[in-house]
Structure 1
Amino acid sequence: MNTPAISVIVPVYNVAPYLTQCLDSVLAQTFGDFELLLVDDGSTDGSSALCDAYAARDDRVRVVHQPNAGLSAARNAGLKLALGEFITFLDGDDWFDAATLAVARQTALASGADVVL
């Protein structure tokens, strides 16, 4: 895998009703040089299967399944796998606007900022 510009880390725990909107919003970004890391934190509601289905459809998506350890542990697991120059987090019950990654990356590069909010 080539090194992506951005790693998007999504901790996933029992967010099946929201997960499709979340993942579709990432995959529909106007900036496409990213990896999407889904950290399934022991979901019991079908979220795990949704994660696997997205990984099977798009090679930018990687999934790790782990026993439930909480949000911070899931984010840390994603950080250990991240290959991107930049890292962002997105909760499984939230979504990005279509240009979120493009604007954040452009802002970071133009300003030299370490953090873009």
Structure 2
Amino acid sequence: AQRAQMEQMIKSREGKPHTMTTQSCITKEDLSQDRIIKEMQDEDEDTAVQCKIKVLSKSSSKLVLDQLCPGPPSSTTHFTVEAKTTESIVAVGERSEGGSGKAHIDIKGKWLRAGCDGLEE
């Protein structure tokens, strides 16, 4: 039921840019210790769809990966996360879903404060 609601919401926004602002915490360790990849895998365990994550490249400041989901519906996501400076992070995602189109995701983050207290991790 939740998936159907999400799919309907996505379809209603097709072709229209959508901006959302949130606060979350990403640490150096999240990038260097594969926590982002682990979180993506943990999310998959909550669903019937078991996606495969293939790391294409990884450095201390950049992570490039593909997420392949057999479906239904099948999907492929190419995702790049990069710490451009010590105070900013950018991410770009391109998602293709079997038969239903594509999505483009841009994420921009900036340093807010020294600690993660009070923010989601």
Q: Write 1 or 2 for the structure with the bigger share of strand.
A: 2
Q: TM-score, normalised to structure 1's length?
A: 0.30
Bigger radius of gyration: 2
